[in-house]
Homo-oligomer: A and B are copies of this chain.
Amino acid sequence: MALEQVKALFFDVFGTVVDWRTSIIGELEAFGKQKGFEAEWSQFADDWRDLYQPSMDAVRRGDREWRPLDTLHRESLITLISRHNITGLTEAEIDHLNKAWHRLNPWPDCVEGLTRLKAKYILATLSNGNIALLVNMAKRAGLPWDAVLGAEPARAYKPLPQCYLRNARFLDLEPTECMLVAAHNNDLAAARTLGFRTAFVCRPTEHGARQTTDLKAESEWDIVTDTMTGVADALEC
């Protein structure tokens, strides 16, 4: 079958590999408690993520020069600190909060699933997160990547085609030799158009209990599952 050609698995990270929302809320709550700030921290986390796609749009369009996600996250954070009436933070405190995105926890099935997959495939990130963010996250969470790739080395944010294509080229592979593993139907659709194989990992609580998007596979992806160990099962790892 066509999946026999696959040599590398590329992974979306936020939502697919790590539970960013619970992690960010936990970081914000701990920070607030320590520093004596009060806010609706779950709303703050959702607001921060809501600014994620818009923050990349100007870069995607070419209206702003390339800059890594840490920079965009920090711009959004400063907007939200003001909106949530938090005052008096030092630059170091803002940096610490911004790097909460480096300290996200994986979904419980990921370390086992990735470790099994690594025995048979090259595992690489294909995230809009920047390299430092992904390396620090992997180091802390024990994510066994063979290569930390994605938007930063490609200098293009998903879902721009060059982000997928340049990352396949970095591994000297054709798109048909690559599979994208993601919890988001639109990410998989962009990759499949270019020739990538696709694995959908359903993460129905990525956005909390009231999530309305990506609750199911919206197309016939090559693999449909709800855990990383499920991907390993499907690929006989």
Contact = CB atoms under 8 A, between A and B. Distances in A.
Contacts of A172: 70, 130, 132
A115 to B, nearest CB: 13
B146 A138 contact: yes
A147 B148 CA distance: 6
Contacts of A136: 122
Number of this chain's copies in the complex:
2
Given A70-B172, A172-B70, A146 B135 contact: yes
A84 interface: no
A124 B132 CA distance: 11
Contacts of A138: 146
A209 to B, nearest CB: 34
A96 interface: no
Residue among A130, A149, A170 with most chain B CB within 10 A: A170
Interface residues of A, number: 20
Interface in A43-98: 70
Contacts of A147: 131, 135, 147-148
Given A148-B148, A153-B153, A171 B135 contact: yes
Interface string A140-175: 000000111100110000000000000000111100
A147 B143 CA distance: 12
A180 B6 CA distance: 35
Nearest to A144: B144
A147 B144 CA distance: 10
Contact of A122 (B70, B139, B153): B139
Contact of A146 (B122, B139, B153): B139
A168 to B, nearest CB: 10
Given A139-B122, A139-B146, A131 B70 contact: no
Interface string A100-142: 0000000000000000000000101000001110011011000
- Chain A to chain B: the 7 pairs with minimum beta-carbon distance, closest first: A132-B172, A153-B153, A131-B170, A147-B148, A135-B147, A132-B171, A135-B146
12 contacts: A122-B136, A131-B149, A131-B171, A132-B170, A132-B173, A135-B146, A135-B147, A138-B146, A147-B147, A148-B148, A152-B153, A153-B170
